[in-house]
Amino acid sequence: MSGARMVRVAAVQIAPDLDSRDGTLDRVLAAIAEAAGKGVELIVFPETFVPWYPYFSFVHPPVMTGAEHIRLYENGVMVPGPVTEAVAAAARRHTMVVALGVNERDHGSLYNAQLIFDADGTLKLKRRKLTPTFHERMIWGQGDGAGLKVVDTAVGRVGALACWEHYNPLARYALMAQHEEIHVAQFPGSLVGPIFADQIEVTIRHHALESGCFVVNATGWLTEDQIARICPEEKLRKALRGGCMTAIVSPEGAHVVPPLTQGEGLLVADLDMGLIVKRKRMMDSVGHYARPELMSLLLDQRPATPMHMTTAPQTSAPGNPADERDDTDRVGDGASDQRIAVVRSAAS
């Protein structure tokens, strides 16, 4: 549409460095610099790309994954920390919005986290995958509703979901209701074979249509040498091939440019933001096409926390037994039901 705002975006299909977090980070920074040379304003990397997606958990039984799981901990990303500082600096240097998937380490747990940095380097969003899928449940903890947010960035309103979260219609609707303009989707790729790529394509194209937004999706890639290293058994290696569908989709559900399904590469496209209104004037799923008096979504955005504390305020004269009470002083805004009760007597 003439006169509409244009945004240049990139989706990266790339292999990690399976030896070190810093090696993978170097690949992230190099891709950002390459995209900057092409005038890119938003770049999207694959799911948990830093240090790498836990492909090992898909092809090995749990009893055999201990060493690799520990190595993932050792290479995990602290938020904030050195990785986020480096990516923030690159975003700021190149005036680029960056969406990066990481294995976030939070003390004794790992989480599938999606990070969105604004063009000034500010970390606008850190969210955790709500429910890890199948083999991932041995690897990551669960996220909460605090991350189901759409954030304002230099390229517009951006929301994000990881992999099979796109099969959760309520999670997607939460982002629709916040009027996302660009949706960041991230998948591991190099899994299951062509059927996985087909499923990704159906899912992201449907979300674009239903939400009336653009979808920028990045999937990972593994080389044959990496596949052999992860899975010594040849008969299982087919589980780590195919499944790539790096794509950029318009609000009309069409590919803006042909998708990338093989090899490494940088998929670049210009988004005509006027297409959002063109789609939504016909079907706005959270506006004129909605029936909120019949159907609506309740979202709990309180961050989960494992502990609440209770103390008794000193409001009465000492020695009065009637003043013994149990008042709640929350630590954080968590939705967890676990509590530690600290009851103090005014007589003590």
Give the angle subtended at the CA of 115 by the CAs of 111 and 116, to the nearest 5°.
165
**Separation CA 312–CA 328 (nearest Å):** 8
> Active site residue: 47, 180, 181, 210, which one?
47
Structure tokens of 156? Answer: 């517009």
Q: Of 122, 185, 111, 112, nearest to 151 (Cα)?
A: 122
Structure tokens of 49? Answer: 């790309």
| DSSP code of residue 344 | B
Strand ranges of the sheet holding 214-219, from the earlier edge strand across to the other edge: 151-153, 156-162, 182-187, 214-219, 247-249
In the three-class reduction of DSSP (H, G, I as helix; E, B as strand; rest coil), residue 190 is classed as coil
> Active site residue: 163, 213, 231, 244, which one?
163
H-helix or E-strand containing 37?
Answer: helix 21-37
**Separation CA 116–CA 91 (nearest Å):** 10
> Active site residue: 126, 129, 149, 280, which one?
129
Is 231 one of the catalytic residues?
Answer: no
Residues in the chain: 348
Is 244 one of the catalytic residues?
Answer: no
* Residue 242 backbone class (left: φ over 0; alpha: ψ -120 to 50; beta: rest): left
* Furthest CA-CA distance within the chain: 78
**Separation CA 97–CA 88 (nearest Å):** 9
Concatenate the DSSP letters of all residues of 76-108 into one string: PBPSSSHHHHHHHHHHHHHT-EEEEEEEEEETT
Q: Which residues does residue 334 pair with via DSSP β-bridges, in sequence order? A: none
Residues assigned a catalytic role = 47, 129, 163
